[in-house]
Structure 1
Amino acid sequence: MSTFSNLGLKQEIVEALTEIGYENPTPIQEESIPQILSSGKDLKAFAQTGTGKTAAFSLPIIQQIDVESKHTQAIILSPTRELGIQIADNIKNFTKYIKGIRTVAVYGGAKIEEQIRGLKRGAHIVVGTPGRTLDLIKRGVLKLESTRFLVLDEADEMLNMGFKDELDAILEATPDTKQTLLFSATFPKEVNQIARNYMTDPVEIETAKVNTGSDNVNHIYYLVNERNRYNALKRIADINPSIYSIVFCRTRKETKEIADQLIEDGYNADSLHGDLSQAQRDTVMQKFRKKTLQILVATDVAARGLDVNNLTHVINYKLPDQIEAYTHRSGRTGRAGNKGTSIAIISPKERGKLRPIERKISKKFIKTDVPNGKEVCEVQLFNVIDKLKTVSVNETEITPYLEGIYEKLEGLTREEIIQKLVSLEFNSFLDYYQNAPDLNNVSTDRDDRGKRRNDENMTRYFINLGRKDKLTPAKLIGLINDQRITKNIEIGQIEILDTFSFFELDKNYQDETLSSFEDTSFNGRTVNVEITKKQKKSGGGDRGGRRRRDGGRRDDRRGGDDRRRKFNKGGGNSSGERSFKGGRKRPNRSGARHH
C-alpha cells in the first residue's frame, strides 16, 4: 500500500499529515502528487467531492514553494467562500512544520481591507473566489507575474455560477510559464474550452472511484404525493432522533421556506443559501459543526466546501437536475469510515430520475415506506428512555432540593414516577401522531393530467371566499383550525379560486364541520360552507350540489397553482398531516429541538 513518503513528499509535510490523521493517499492523491512534483506539465483531473483533491494539488505545491521569496507563487481559485476558506485552512495545517509559508484567503462578503493587508505582508499562496481575486488584481494589490502554479478547483461549478469572464481575466493576468492544474467533477464543453485556451498539452487523470466513501452510503427513496413531501421530511427526522443531516433544496426560496417551516415546527434546523451575509453563514456553520443544529437546509452551491465528516444522512428534498450534483450531495455522508444514508424524497412523476443516477453510482435505490405514527412514537419513546438512562446527575446542585422533591412524590410508586417522567416528553408525540395519515398512499393524488383524485375518506366542501377576499391556502387552513371541529382533523385538497374555493376534510365530521362554520366571518364577510358533489351529510338532508354561479362558471382553471402550493403559515398545511387548533405549534421533537 502506498504512503505519502513514497509519493516523494518531504518529512515535514508527512509529519503534519500524520498528526492530522492522514494515513494513506487516496487514488486521486496517489496519481496527482507525483505528477505535479516530477513534471511541469499542466494537469486535468476528474475528482468528486470527498476524494481528497485539496491535498492532491496543495501538497506538491507546498513542497515547491520558495519561502525566501515574498512573491505570490500559487493562486488557487474556488467557486465559494466556504470552499476557499476550507482550502486555506487545510494548507495551513499541511504547512505546520514548514516555517515561513504564508497563505491568505480572499473572498467576497468580508472586509477587503484586511485581505489587502494580508497580501501586502506577503502571501506565497493565495486562495480566492473569482470575483474578489479579480477585484484585488485590478486594484494592483494582488500581483501574479511570479505565479508558478494556478489551480482551478471545482471548475465546472465556477462556470455554472457565471464566473467565466472573471476566470478569463485572471488567467490572462498570469504568466505563460505557470503550471495550470484544473480539477473538476465534470468536464462540460465550457471547461474543456478553458483547457484548450489556457493549458498546454495537459496530462489527464480520472480516478476510477467516484467517491471513496460511496461504499459506506446506502441510497433509499420515499415515494409520496407532492403535497406530502414536507411531511415525509418531518417523519424522517422524527424516526431518527439523532439525525445530523444536510437537506438539499434546488432554490434559495425553497431552502428558506423549508428551513422556516422546520424551525416553526420545533426542529433544530437552519438554512444556508446565497442571500446570507458572510457573518450569518459563519454563524450557521459554527452551530452546525458543533451540532447545535441537527438539520441544515442548503442549496448545492452554498454547500460547496462544507467540511463536515459525521453526517448521518443526506436528504434530497428535491432531486437535482444534474446527476453529478447527486453524487456531490451523497458524497457528504459515509466519510472517514462511517456509515451514511442518502435519501431521495420523490413524487410519482420523478421515479424516472432514479435510473440514470443508479447507473452512475452503480447502486440501486431501496424503496422504503415513510414511517407511520406508531413507528415514530415507538422510536421516540425509547429515545426518551435512553436519554433518561444516560443523563448526568449533578449531585452537588440537586441535593438541597431532594428532600422537597421526595415529599412531593410521596405516595407514588416507582412505576408511576417512571411513567410520568417519560410521559412529560412522549405525550406530545403521541398526541400529534394519533391517527396520523399514511403518507405512502400515492394512488389517490392527481394523475399527471391533473384529474381530480377520488378519495372516499374525504368530504369536499364549498366556501364562498376566494382570492378576491384575499384568501390563501394558509389562511383557509387557519380558518378551519379556528373552528375547532375536532382534534387534529385531517385536511385534504384545497383549491383557491377567484370568488369561491373548495377544501376537503375527514368525512366522519360532516355535521361538526357544517355547524362549526355557522355565524363565522372572514375579513368582515359572512362565511358560507356547504358540501359539494351532492354528498349527504350524516344526519340526512341534502345541502350538496351547490356550485358558485358567478358569470355562469363552474370552475376557475387558474386555481391549479394554489393546489400545488406549499404553505408554512396559518397554523397548518394542506398536505393531509394533522393540524393543531388555535394556532398552536407542533410539539418540539425529542433529539431535534430548536434552540
Structure 2
Amino acid sequence: MSASFEALGLNENIVQAISDLGFSEPTPIQSQAIPVLLSGTTDFVGLAQTGTGKTAAFGLPLLQLMNAADKFPQALIVCPTRELCLQITNDLMDFMKHSKGIMSEAVYGGASIMMQIRNLKRGVQIVVATPGRLIDLIERKAIDLQKVKYVVLDEADEMLNMGFRDDIDFVLKNTVNRESIWLFSATMPPEVRAIAKNFMENPKEITVGKKNSGNVNIDHQFYVSPAHSRYETLKRLIDFNPGMYGIIFTRTKADAQDISERLSKSGYEIEALHGDLTQQQRDRVMARFRTKALQLLIATDVAARGIDVDGITHVINYELPDDMEVYTHRSGRTGRAGKTGICLSICHSRETYKIRSLEKMVNSQFHKLDIPSGKDVCRKQFFHFMDKLISTDISHGDYETYLPDLMTKFENVSKEEVLQRVAALEFDHFLKYYENAEDLNAKDSSRNRERFDGNKDDSSRKERTSFNRKDNGYTRLFINLGTKDGFYKASFLQFILDESSLKKEVLGKIDMRDMNTWVEVDHSSAASMIKAIDGKRYNNRTVRMNEADGGFKRPSDEQRGNREVGGQRRESGERRRTFAPRDRK
C-alpha cells in the first residue's frame, strides 16, 4: 500500500484496515482534515460534498483518539437520519477491524430504545446518534455525556434544514467537558455559521472545492418542458437512458406516490419513499434499491435525507427545488467516490432564472438539451439491447447441445430476418408507444434562446418583468381574491382547482397579493378556468377572473345585476373602471 495514509499520522492498525478495504490514497478532505483532527484539541469545520469521504475524514482520527480501556462514551457523532447513522456505524466497524477493544453503538428512532440502552450499558467508546433519539436517551438519563471529549456534527446543514437546531444546541450544552467540535457540512448557510460562532473556539476551516459548490464529477443537464407534459418528459428521459439506476426527486409525497404508481403500471421497477411509510416499509424499499431489485427510487427531499447508495448513475429533479441549496444535496447522491454521474432537471421556461442561479452556486455549467423524440428513444433502446446481446456470456452453459435443433429450426430463415424478429420481440411495445409520439420540447421565447446561445441583451430583462405574459406556454390570469380574503398559497390553490376541476399540472406560478392574485395557467386550460370561476360568489363578493392583459371582462347576462364594490352597491348600468394589472417598475 502507498504510504499516503501513514504519512497523515494514522497508526498501523487503522492503516491496515484501510488497506483491507481497498483504499490506497486519501481523498482531498481526508488528507487535509486528518492531520488537524488527530490533535484532538482543535475545533474544526469541514466543507465538502457528499461522497467525498467525509466519514473516513472524521472516523479514522476519532478511532485513533479513543482509549479502549475506558468503557464509556468518549466520542459522539450526531447525524440527521437513521440511514446515515447506520452507514457511519458500519463504516466505523470496518475501520476498527484491527483495533481491539473499541466499540460503537448506533442510536436512532424506529428501533427498540431498550435494546439500545442495554448496549450502551455494556460500555461503548463511540455513540452515533440521530438528534431525536439522543435527546430521549439524555432525558431518560440512559447516556452520560459528561466524559465526551469529541462531538462530531455530520451533515450539519441537513440537520438544520430538518428543524434540529434546538436539539443540536441542547446536545452541545450537555457536552460541557468536550475538547473539540468537528462540524462537517456540504454547504455553509447562516444557521451553520451561527453554530460555529456560538459553540466553537477559533475553528480551523477547510473547504474542498468552492464553498457551497457541487461535485465536479456531475454533469448537470436540464430539459425545458410544458407543465402538462412533465410526467411524459420524465418517462421519456428514463426510456432514453437504459440501464439508469437513479433517484427521482419530487416536492410532495403525493407526487412521489402518484408517479410511482403510474410508472409501476407501465412496467418500471420503481417504488416511492415518503413520510407515510413505516420504518419497516422504508427498510424494505431501501433494501430492494440497494440490491438493484429496483431500477428507480422516487422520493421527497425529507424522505431521501441520509440516503447513501453506491453506484447511482442519475438523479432526476422532477421539479427544481424552491431552496437552491437543496439542489446540491440532491445532485450529490450521484458522482460519488470519484465516479461520474448525471443530474437531470425538468423545468419550465419561466424557471431558467433558477438555472442561472444554480450555475453560479455549484460553479458548473448546466447543459440545456432537447427532450428526445420517440424515434431517438427507440434507437437508443435498440442499440443498448444489441450491445447486451453481443456481450452476453455464453461460456457457462451447455448451449452447443441445442445448436443442431436451432440450426434445423432456422435453416430457412436468413440472418437478417432472425435479427428483425429478435428486435420485434424486444421492442414491439416501444415502437407502438412511440410511433406517434409528440414533440415535448417547450417552444422557447427568444430571450431564453438568446440566454443559452450566449446572446442575451438588456431588453430581455425588461421583458422578464412584464406582468402581461402569454408566452412560455402559460396565460397569466388575474383574480380579485388575495390574502385579505383569508387565503394563503395552499388554500388558494385548492380553491381554484376545486372550482375549475382542473389538475395541478396546468398551473404555473401563483403571485398572491393582499387584494388580488395573478395565476399562470396552461394556454389550453385558461379559458376553462375563467369560465368556471369568473362570476362565482365568495364571502358575499363576486369573483372576477380574466386574462391579465385583456382588461376587464364584460360579465354575461346571468352575471349582470347589482353587485358589491368596496362595500357599496353599484347598479349594473353604471360603468366600471377597467382593473387589469399594469407593468410595475
Please name the residue that 2:72 is paired with.
Answer: 71
For residues 274-322 of structure 1, the C-alpha deviation after alignment (integer angstroms, 9 at most, x for no partner) is: 3322222222222222221111112333333323232221212222233
Q: CA deviation at 1:179?
A: 1.7
Give yes or no for contact 1:467–1:499 (8 Å, CA) kept in 2. no
Please name the residue that 1:52 is paired with.
Answer: 53
Please name the residue that 1:33 is paired with.
Answer: 34
Please name the residue that 1:269 is paired with.
Answer: 270
Return 370-379 or 134-143, whichever deviates more: 134-143
SS of the residue corresponding to residue 474 of structure 2 reads coil
Q: CA deviation at 1:421?
A: 2.8
Return 387-396 or 418-427, whichever deviates more: 387-396
Q: CA deviation at 1:393?
A: 6.0
Give yes or no for contact 1:213–1:335 (8 Å, CA) kept in 2. no
Give yes or no for contact 2:46–2:206 (8 Å, CA) kept in 1. yes
State the AA in 1 paired with 2:274. H
Q: How does 1:180-579 map to 2 (within 5 A)?
A: 180-209=181-210, 214-391=215-392, 412-442=413-443, 446-447=473-474, 449-450=476-477, 493=524, 551=558
CA distance in 2, matches of 1:177, 1:159: 22
CA distance in 1, matches of 2:64, 2:85: 20
State the AA in 1 paired with 2:111. A
CA distance in 1, matches of 2:147, 2:301: 35
Q: CA deviation at 1:107?
A: 0.8
Q: CA deviation at 1:134?
A: 0.8
Please name the residue that 2:110 is paired with.
Answer: 109
CA distance in 1, matches of 2:187, 2:214: 19
CA spacing shift, 1:41–1:404, aligned 2, 3 Å: closer
CA distance in 2, matches of 1:468, 1:320: 25
Q: CA deviation at 1:91?
A: 0.8
Does 2:175 match 1:168?
A: no
SS of the residue corresponding to residue 143 of structure 2 reads coil
Give yes or no for contact 2:150–2:178 (8 Å, CA) kept in 1. no
Please name the residue that 1:515 is paired with.
Answer: none
CA distance in 1, matches of 2:104, 2:527: 58
Give yes or no for contact 1:213–1:336 (8 Å, CA) kept in 2. no
Please name the residue that 1:573 is paired with.
Answer: none
Structural RMSD (CA): 3.5
Unaligned runs of 5+ in 2: 445-470, 479-495, 505-521, 534-554, 561-585
CA spacing shift, 1:497–1:226, aligned 2, 3 Å: closer
CA spacing shift, 1:122–1:401, aligned 2, 3 Å: same
SS of the residue corresponding to residue 238 of structure 1 reads helix
CA distance in 1, matches of 2:208, 2:399: 59
CA spacing shift, 1:435–1:77, aligned 2, 3 Å: same
TM-score, length basis structure 1: 0.72
Please name the residue that 1:97 is paired with.
Answer: 98
CA spacing shift, 1:114–1:442, aligned 2, 3 Å: farther
CA distance in 1, matches of 2:366, 2:386: 33
Give yes or no for contact 1:473–1:494 (8 Å, CA) kept in 2. no
CA spacing shift, 1:41–1:391, aligned 2, 3 Å: closer
Q: CA deviation at 1:340?
A: 1.8
CA spacing shift, 1:9–1:108, aligned 2, 3 Å: same
Give yes or no for contact 1:106–1:128 (8 Å, CA) kept in 2. yes
For residues 476-495 of structure 1, the C-alpha deviation after alignment (integer angstroms, 9 at most, x for no partner) is: xxxxxxxxxxxxxxx99457
SS of the residue corresponding to residue 7 of structure 2 reads coil
CA spacing shift, 1:178–1:274, aligned 2, 3 Å: farther
Q: CA deviation at 1:47?
A: 2.5
SS of the residue corresponding to residue 328 of structure 1 reads helix
For residues 71-124 of structure 1, the C-alpha deviation after alignment (integer angstroms, 9 at most, x for no partner) is: 011111001111111111111111111112111111111222222222122221
Give yes or no for contact 2:222–2:346 (8 Å, CA) kept in 1. yes
CA distance in 2, matches of 1:173, 1:399: 72
SS of the residue corresponding to residue 418 of structure 1 reads helix
% same residue? 46
Give yes or no for contact 1:472–1:496 (8 Å, CA) kept in 2. no
SS of the residue corresponding to residue 45 of structure 2 reads strand
Give yes or no for contact 1:48–1:210 (8 Å, CA) kept in 2. no
SS of the residue corresponding to residue 334 of structure 2 reads coil
CA distance in 1, matches of 2:475, 2:532: 22
CA distance in 1, matches of 2:309, 2:290: 7
For residues 205-260 of structure 1, the C-alpha deviation after alignment (integer angstroms, 9 at most, x for no partner) is: 22335699833322211111111121111111111111111112223333222222
For residues 370-415 of structure 1, the C-alpha deviation after alignment (integer angstroms, 9 at most, x for no partner) is: 0001111111222333344445669979899999888877865444
Divergent runs of 4+, >4 A: 209-213, 390-414, 466-474, 494-502
Give yes or no for contact 1:80–1:301 (8 Å, CA) kept in 2. no
CA distance in 2, matches of 1:35, 1:305: 26
SS of the residue corresponding to residue 365 of structure 2 reads coil
Q: CA deviation at 1:430?
A: 0.7
User: How many matched pairs?
Assistant: 478
State the AA in 1 paired with 2:473. R
For residues 344-370 of structure 1, the C-alpha deviation after alignment (integer angstroms, 9 at most, x for no partner) is: 211011000111211222221111110
Please name the residue that 1:119 is paired with.
Answer: 120
SS of the residue corresponding to residue 202 of structure 2 reads coil
Give yes or no for contact 2:213–2:362 (8 Å, CA) kept in 1. no
